[in-house]
């Protein structure tokens, strides 16, 4: 699991005003990553670095794309999920 402090450093957020939002996004990222993996993170003795990075990337994308507009350019949540599926493929179980 990723910590709030580590995630804030990754996002380059210095204050505490969005801690609740970021904490919520961390939980959402965990659920999304576990869904891709088809297993809970608790199955791992030590979280492999690609899984760790995938959680940070998903959290960052959700944070940055929380106010979506038609004219906004950047990485979409769909593109991010496609990317983490490729990142996590080696760790994925065949089924839950």
The span from the CA of 43 to the CA of 5, in Å, is 24
Q: pLDDT at residue 80 above 60? A: yes
Q: Which ranges of the chain does DSSP label H, i.e. alpha helix?
A: 4-11, 19-37, 49-64, 77-88
- pLDDT of 41: 96
More confident: 96 or 54: 54
pLDDT per residue over 27-76, tens digit each? 999 999 999 999 999 999 999 999 999 999 999 998 988 766 556 666 67
> Pick from 4, 39, 3, 30: which is nearest to 19 by CA?
4
């Amino acid at each position: 699991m990723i910590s709030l402090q580590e995630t804030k450093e990754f996002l380059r957020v210095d204050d505490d005003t969005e801690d609740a939002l970021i904490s919520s996004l961390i939980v959402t990222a965990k659920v999304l990553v576990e869904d891709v993996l088809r297993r809970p993170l608790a199955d791992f003795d030590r979280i492999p670095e690609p899984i760790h990075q995938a959680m940070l990337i998903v959290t960052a994308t959700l944070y940055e794309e929380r106010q979506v507009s038609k004219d906004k350019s950047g990485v979409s949540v769909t593109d991010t999920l496609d990317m983490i599926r490729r990142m996590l493929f080696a760790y994925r179980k065949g089924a839950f």
